[in-house]
C-alpha cells in the first residue's frame, strides 16, 4: 500500500473525486426540495402565527390579574396589621403597610388604561379602580382587560356607587368578539 502513495505519476484528482466527501459533482438542492421546504415552513407559520401574535395581549392581561392579586394581598396584610381599608378611589389611594408590602409602588396597568366603573375613570391613567365596602364585601379591585379570555365581568355591568358594587354581569348575548373584548373587566371582591 505504501508503494501506491509513492508513485509520482498517479492522478490525485481521480483519487479524491472517488471519495464521496470530495466529489463536487452535486451542488445545492433541487427545485422540488426547496419548494417542499418552503411549503412546510408556510404551513407551520400559518398554524402558529395567531398564537404568537396574541401572546403580548395575553401577557398584559395576566400582569393585570397578578397586579390585582398583589394589591389584594397587600390590603389584607395591612388589615391584619390593624390598618383600616382606604377610602374608595383609584388604587393609588393605598398607603401605609399595604404600600410598604407592595415595595413602595402601587402596580399600574401595563398599557396605562384605567377601567370605567359606574361612569368613573381614574384621573391618573393606568390606575386600577379600588372600592371600599361594595355591597356585601370589604373591598373590590377592578382592572380593564384587553381580551375576554381572562375576564370575569362585563365592564358595562359594573355599578359601583357610594354603597358599592351592585351588579356584575356578562357581555350581551350575540355581541361580536370585538365588543366582548372591549367590555372585559377583571374583578376581585374580598369579604
- Count of structural domains within the chain: 1
Which distant-in-sequence residues (6+ apart) come within 8 Å of 183 by Cβ? 154, 155, 156, 171, 175
Cell of 152: 370575569
pLDDT given at position 138: 82
Please write the tens of the pLDDT for every residue from 106-134: 888 888 777 766 566 676 777 888 888 77
In a domain, 67, yes or no: yes
In a domain, 143, yes or no: yes
pTM given for the model: 0.65
Domain ranges, residue 89: 59-190
pLDDT given at position 164: 42
pLDDT given at position 173: 42
In a domain, 23, yes or no: no
Least confident piece of the model among 39-43, 98-102, 169-173: 169-173
Please write the tens of the pLDDT for every residue from 41-70: 999 988 888 778 888 888 888 898 898 899
Sign, Cα dihedral of 11, 14, 20, 22: positive
pLDDT given at position 94: 80
Q: 4 vs 71, which has greater pLDDT?
A: 71
Q: Confirm if 68 and 143 have CB atoms less than 8 A apart.
A: yes
In a domain, 53, yes or no: no
- For the ranges 20-29, 71-80, 146-155, the one whose mean pLDDT is highest: 71-80
In a domain, 36, yes or no: no
Q: What is the radius of gyration, based on Cα positions, of the chain?
A: 32
Backbone dihedral angles phi then psi of residue 163, each to the nearest 5 degrees: -85, -15
pLDDT given at position 167: 38
In a domain, 139, yes or no: yes
DSSP letter at 33? Answer: H
pLDDT given at position 10: 57
In a domain, 18, yes or no: no
In a domain, 44, yes or no: no
Q: 169 vs 37, which has greater pLDDT?
A: 37
Amino acid at each position: 500500500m505504501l508503494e501506491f502513495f509513492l508513485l509520482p505519476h498517479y492522478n490525485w484528482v481521480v483519487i479524491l473525486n472517488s471519495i464521496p466527501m470530495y466529489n463536487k459533482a452535486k451542488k445545492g438542492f433541487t427545485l422540488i426540495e426547496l419548494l417542499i421546504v418552503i411549503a412546510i415552513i408556510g404551513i407551520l407559520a400559518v398554524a402558529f402565527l395567531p398564537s404568537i401574535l396574541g401572546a403580548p395581549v395575553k401577557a398584559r392581561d395576566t400582569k393585570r390579574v397578578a397586579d390585582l392579586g398583589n394589591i389584594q394581598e397587600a390590603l389584607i396584610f395591612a388589615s391584619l396589621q390593624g390598618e383600616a381599608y382606604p377610602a374608595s378611589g383609584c388604587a393609588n389611594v393605598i398607603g401605609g403597610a399595604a404600600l410598604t408590602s407592595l415595595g413602595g409602588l402601587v402596580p399600574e396597568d401595563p398599557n396605562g388604561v384605567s377601567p370605567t366603573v359606574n361612569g368613573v375613570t381614574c384621573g391618573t391613567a393606568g390606575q386600577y379602580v379600588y372600592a371600599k365596602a361594595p355591597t356585601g364585601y370589604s373591598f373590590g379591585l377592578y382592572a380593564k382587560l384587553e381580551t375576554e379570555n381572562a375576564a370575569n365581568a362585563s365592564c358595562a355591568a359594573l355599578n359601583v356607587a357610594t354603597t358599592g358594587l351592585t351588579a356584575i354581569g356578562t357581555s350581551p348575548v350575540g355581541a361580536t368578539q370585538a365588543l366582548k373584548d372591549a367590555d372585559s373587566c377583571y374583578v376581585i371582591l374580598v369579604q
